[in-house]
Amino acid sequence: MSRYLSDTLRGLRPYTPGEQPRRRNYVKLNTNESPYPPPTAVVRAVEAEARNLQLYPDPECRELRKAAAAYYGLEPGQVMAGNGSDENLFFALRAFCDETRPLAHADVTYGCYAVWCGLLHIPEHIIPLEEDFTLDPLRYHGLNETIVIANPNAPTGLALPPEDIGQIAAANPDSVVIVDEAYVDFGTRSCVSMVRQYDNLLVVQTCSKSRQMAGARLGVAMGSKGLIADLEQVRNSLNPYNVNRMTQAAGIAALQCGGYFRETCRQVMETRGWAAAALARRGFVLTNSRANFLFARCERMPAAQLYAALRRRGVLVRYFDAPRTADWLRITVGTREQMEALFAALDAILKEG
């Protein structure tokens, strides 16, 4: 770093994204992308909108918000579009936390929460997960702090029922409860319908996983009109043209491709169940993941060693070198063929010992 970086940021530990190799000969199971391409309607919408790149996008994302509101049974004023769910989450922390209002989050969860707290000088209230990585909702009752819960959680894949989230919102009526539902479409229920009941509940979803649009960067935040107005104030103060023309068009088209969406989610969940059973037969211990990834521990080899051995054989998975996760690997659910390549590599590695 240069000598010009501010003193307050010198100790900042940035988020480390999953490896994005330039070579195409890896089996890429490390960043929870969809193994399926976007539907043809999305591609066509992007191609058509590319002819208008000389023009700024609609800063209000009006048509996209209308489409999302119709899909989720909300009003457009209850929806905000962002450059991926990361931007919406960042805006939420900027809006609802500061030096005097901490952010409460789990100790094992999405790493960006802690990074953004460091960047924005937000105190953290870190609440440990239980020994089995489950989250005890009672630990979040009566905190009177802004709360963020990834549901399903990353990297564990475990999920709470919406009723538990609602009780957390009810137990913290003067604080915002943010639910990060990046993986909600792979086997658990969304909290979106509860934003009418709890005006302090903000639900954030992404098009990166179940909508096959990780490269487009699109997410939506949903909540009461008051919460969305707060987020819009932050957005217009920082990045008013935050969602480009092609991504807005892609998002509208994706919301209209319900059949493709449901079928690809079904295939991911089916492959997840098959792959989990195959890992268990090989002596792995797994959480009950409700996401498009598996969280697994190998009883026969340290996770760091197994991660490196898989990489040498052209299979990328995710390893988090932290105290509670150092024995575990996060494995994206790919196509059946990709998972078979993973198991072929695992069998060779474990045979070598």
Residue 296's φ and ψ, nearest 5 degrees, are: -135, 145
What string of pLDDT tens digits covers the 353 residues of the chain? 899 999 888 889 899 898 888 877 899 999 999 999 999 999 999 999 999 999 999 999 999 999 999 999 999 999 999 999 999 999 999 999 999 999 999 999 999 999 999 999 999 999 999 999 999 999 999 999 999 999 999 999 999 999 999 999 999 999 999 999 999 999 999 999 999 999 999 999 999 999 999 999 999 999 999 999 999 999 999 999 999 999 999 999 999 999 999 999 999 999 999 999 999 999 999 999 999 999 999 989 999 999 999 999 999 999 999 999 999 999 999 999 999 999 999 999 999 87
Question: How is residue 98 annotated by DSSP?
Answer: B
Beta partners for 180? 150, 204
Say if residues 336 and 35 touch (Cβ distance below 8 Å): no
Q: Which token pair is 63? A: 């048509």
Rounded to whole angstroms, the Cα distance separating 304 from 285 reads 16
Residue position matching structure tokens 């957390």: 168
Domains of the chain in sequence order = 7-37+259-352 (3.90.1150.10), 40-257 (3.40.640.10)
Rounded to whole angstroms, the Cα distance separating 264 from 97 reads 37
User: What is the pTM assigned to this prediction?
Assistant: 0.97
Rounded to whole angstroms, the Cα distance separating 257 from 42 reads 9
